[in-house]
Amino acid sequence: MKPAALVTAIGAQCRTEVVLTLRRGESVLVTIVVPIVLLVFFASARVLPRGGRGIDYLLPGTLALAVISTSLVSLGIATAYERYYGVLKRLGSTPFPRSGLVAAKMLAVATIEVIQIALLAGVGAIFFAWRPHGSFPLALLVLGLGTLAFAGLGLILAGNLRAEATLAGANGVFVFFLLIGGLFVPLDHLPGWLVPFARLLPADALSDVLRSVLRYAKLPWSSAITLFAWALALPVIAARTFQWE
């Protein structure tokens, strides 16, 4: 396939992916509704964290949750069912290369995330007077690393498990990260024995780096290195283990 035709095909597939995602009620619920509801609830309740403005802690955690919901849950489950129904096998037999399909899926994920970021930042700014005092461009780079990490995890599940198992696994991991990933509950609120493990999770790394970048324009190097390691390792594992049929 010629480069110009490949770009056109990727764009067309990306549009299809976005439309299908927005048509699925469960995807809209997980990617759009749930993050906004959680942000409004925790920011209005004013129970977390102790000291400071709650929105400065909660919004970065909600942005991280949005990345997880789109890159892990939505992408992973949709891809698993496409594999189950033979869609990936049929696409693989066309001139459209598999690398182009992956690129289209990642562009679709990025498109959905742009919508999520705009909505969440708008809710934070309008209702809770949130303002980014740090570096928003650097935050976008961090969100990109988070997307790579969680998309890699979603594709690992989709490429190796049955569709039903991926559905259960992706939602289970989503809840797991929500509870102990440092998104809404600070790690110092968790049992002491759980904290070292939680600090190694990509969810805590992403939310911690986002908080520092959006507030101080600085990278917390320990969390940044952890996030980068996940963003490098998980896509590589997905590429090596993914089964197209």
In the chain, what are the domain boundaries? 3-241
Please state, in angstroms and rounded to a whole number, the distance separating the CA atoms of residues 239 and 195. Answer: 31
- pLDDT tens per residue across all 245 residues of the chain: 677 888 888 999 999 999 988 888 888 888 999 999 999 998 887 665 554 578 999 999 999 999 999 999 999 999 999 999 998 888 777 888 888 888 999 999 999 999 999 999 999 999 999 988 889 899 999 999 999 999 999 999 999 999 999 999 999 999 999 999 999 988 888 898 999 999 999 999 999 999 999 999 999 999 999 999 999 999 999 999 998 87
Q: Six-digit token pair at 88?
A: 């990936």
Please state, in angstroms and rounded to a whole number, the distance separating the CA atoms of residues 192 and 190. Answer: 6
Say which residues have a Cβ less than 8 Å from residue 129's Cβ, sequence separation at least 6.
55
Please state, in angstroms and rounded to a whole number, the distance separating the CA atoms of residues 14 and 44. Answer: 36
Spatial CA neighbour of 197 closest among 177, 217, 215, 212: 177
Residue 52's region, left for phi above 0, alpha for psi from -120 to 50, else beta, is: left
Please state, in angstroms and rounded to a whole number, the distance separating the CA atoms of residues 32 and 10. Answer: 24
Q: What is the pLDDT of residue 4?
A: 81
**Could you give the C-alpha distances from 206 to 62, 64, 129, 145, in angstroms and in order?**
11, 6, 23, 8
Other CB atoms closer than 10 Å to residue 87's CB: what's the count? 14
Q: What is the pTM of this model?
A: 0.93
Q: What is the pLDDT of residue 46?
A: 65
Say which residues have a Cβ less than 8 Å from residue 21's Cβ, sequence separation at least 6.
27, 31, 74, 78, 108, 112
